A = this chain, B = another copy of it.
């Protein structure tokens, strides 16, 4: 396999972008990438998107986006793994470059959620229709059950969950592209509306529009395009049973553990080598479970790590410096690629007020559904 690098990034702000359509969002992010590298001929495009069909009545996003970017002809494939669609798209683009078949591959994630669709209903199609959704549950309920299981097993408290939200809003306040750029207090989180007990409004990521894009090329060509390439050091992808009821321990995210183990093996690195991480905090409980599954903390001890400030900017391992899904926003198909962009900016030393000092190795963890799919990538400044 050839080594693969990221040489350019582009991203829309995340938020309620009522003036931009699905295709507008893609083109805005993709054009920023192409402008940064003087518009080379692309060999291929991957579009991460969860549900253009249900959100805005548009499937077949590969050719649509190639067309509207002005490069009709270029192969363009949509990849979907629910909220892990962006990470799965990166993985597919990585293989195309690593194989030697292509040199310049654009990987973009995009979602347009604010356009009139029943968002909670559409998102629920990422859970098991027969075992779960048919009976009336949606994602806040599924993650609430994960939270209850974690509380039961590890003594996790509502205050622990709130700490995650406070931290990620603190980071998001520093991110010009974040949907929410204000800090929230522990009290604000703890008294916000109950959504699905024990999850309150400020434990939940928002409904967002947005797009994010990166350009991949073989590492040995990277310096044609940038002085600061970031190498994809390794990746891992894994699945787990779709339905929570089929999991041995709903508080443990097995797909994340397995994807992480694969990414650590592929990169030759371990959790202690990571300087900065973006993880999938679709609900506050998810960040706790994920930190444990990534082996950043022992099972049941991620809350302690968070309370001690170790995952805050300035801590030992800053997590979700972008604001995470909670504050940056969560246009589901775009999230996996936006996580990568935050890490690329950190490793390039371009994260401004959010900069982690001396970050050389970074990790992204993207997740679909209630954790039935997860993609982990590890990146290195070279």
Contact = CB atoms under 8 A, between A and B. Distances in A.
A369 B60 contact: yes
Question: For A78, A100, A133, A246, which residue has the most chain B Cβ atoms within 10 angstroms?
Answer: A78
A74 to B, nearest CB: 6
Contact of A60 (B57, B82, B95): B82
20 contacts: A50-B59, A53-B53, A54-B59, A58-B125, A60-B126, A60-B127, A60-B368, A60-B369, A62-B88, A62-B368, A63-B240, A63-B255, A64-B372, A67-B242, A75-B237, A75-B238, A77-B91, A78-B81, A95-B99, A99-B100
A98 interface: yes
Contacts of A16: none
Contact of A88 (B72, B74, B77, B373): B77
A58 B121 CA distance: 11
A60 B373 contact: yes
Contact of A240 (B72, B77, B242): B72
Interface in A36-80: 44, 50-54, 56-64, 66-67, 72-80
The DSSP consensus for interface residues of chain A is: mixed
Interface residues of A, number: 62
Given A51-B59, A59-B82, A72-B239, 9 more contacts: A54-B59, A60-B125, A63-B255, A75-B238, A77-B79, A77-B88, A80-B80, A92-B95, A95-B101
| 4 tightest A-B CB contacts, nearest first | A75-B237, A63-B372, A99-B99, A63-B239
Contacts of A67: 239-242, 246, 372
B101 A373 contact: no
A183 interface: no
A227 interface: no
Contacts of A129: 56-58
A122 interface: yes
Interface in A115-172: 122, 125-130, 133
Contacts of A58: 125, 129
A241 B96 contact: no
A63 B95 contact: no
Contact of A369 (B1, B44, B63, B254): B63
Interface string A244-259: 0010000000110010
Contacts of A53: 51, 53-54, 122, 125
A101 B63 contact: no
A237 B45 CA distance: 11
A220 to B, nearest CB: 16
A62 B130 contact: no
A73 B257 CA distance: 10
A21 interface: yes
Contact of A75 (B62, B239, B369): B239
Contacts of A242: 60, 63-64, 67
B59 A125 contact: yes
A133 B79 CA distance: 23
Nearest to A49: B80
Contacts of A96: 95
A118 to B, nearest CB: 12
Interface in A242-288: 242, 246, 254-255, 258
